[in-house]
Amino acid sequence: MVAMVPFHALIACVAFVGINAAATMAHAQDASPWARDSHSALRLVAGSRAGSVLMGGIEIQLEKGWKTYWRTPGDSGVPPRFDFSKSSNVESVTPLYPAPRSFNDGAGGISFGYVKNVVFPLRIVPKNPNEPVKIAAAISYAVCERLCLPVEAEVELAFTSTASAQDSLVAVALNKVPKPATTTDTTPYTLRSFVRQGDKVMIDITAQNPDAIELFAEGPSPDWALPLPKQVTAADKDAVRFAFPLEGLPADARAEGALLKLTVVGPDGAYEYNVRLN
Same domain, 21 and 128: yes
Predicted local confidence at residue 161, as pLDDT: 66
Pair 152, 254 in one domain: no
231 shares a domain with 171: no
- For position 22, what pLDDT does the model report? 40
At which of 123, 150, 175 does a domain end?
175
Residue 169 phi, psi dihedral angles, 5° rounding:
-60, -45
Distances (CA, A) of 96 to 25, 110, 124, 170, 173: 26, 22, 11, 11, 9
Decide which of 154, 175, 196 is a domain's last residue.
175
| Cα 180 from Cα 164, distance rounded (Å) | 27
Q: Give the CATH number of the domain where residue 47 resides.
A: 2.60.40.1250
Same-domain pairing of 141 and 18: yes
- Same domain, yes or no: 41 and 146: yes
What's residue 28's pLDDT? Answer: 44
Query: 24 and 46 in one domain?
Result: yes
Per-residue pLDDT of the chain (278 residues; tens, 9 = 90+): 544 444 443 433 333 344 444 433 333 489 999 999 999 999 999 988 767 889 999 999 999 999 999 999 998 889 999 999 999 999 999 999 999 999 988 777 899 999 999 999 999 999 998 888 999 999 999 999 888 899 999 999 998 767 788 989 999 999 999 999 988 888 899 898 999 988 999 999 988 877 789 999 999 999 999 999 999 876 677 788 999 999 999 998 888 999 999 999 999 999 999 999 98
Q: Are residues 158 and 260 in the same domain?
A: no
State residue 215's pLDDT score.
Answer: 96
Closest by CA position to 173, among listed 60, 71, 93: 60
Residue 207: give its domain's CATH number.
2.60.40
Full domain range(s) for residue 250:
179-276
Q: What is the DSSP string of 33-71?
A: PPEE-SSEEEEEEEEEEETTEEEEEEEEEE-TT-EEEEE
Q: What is the total count of domains within the chain?
A: 2
Same domain, 152 and 164: yes
Specify the pTM. Answer: 0.86
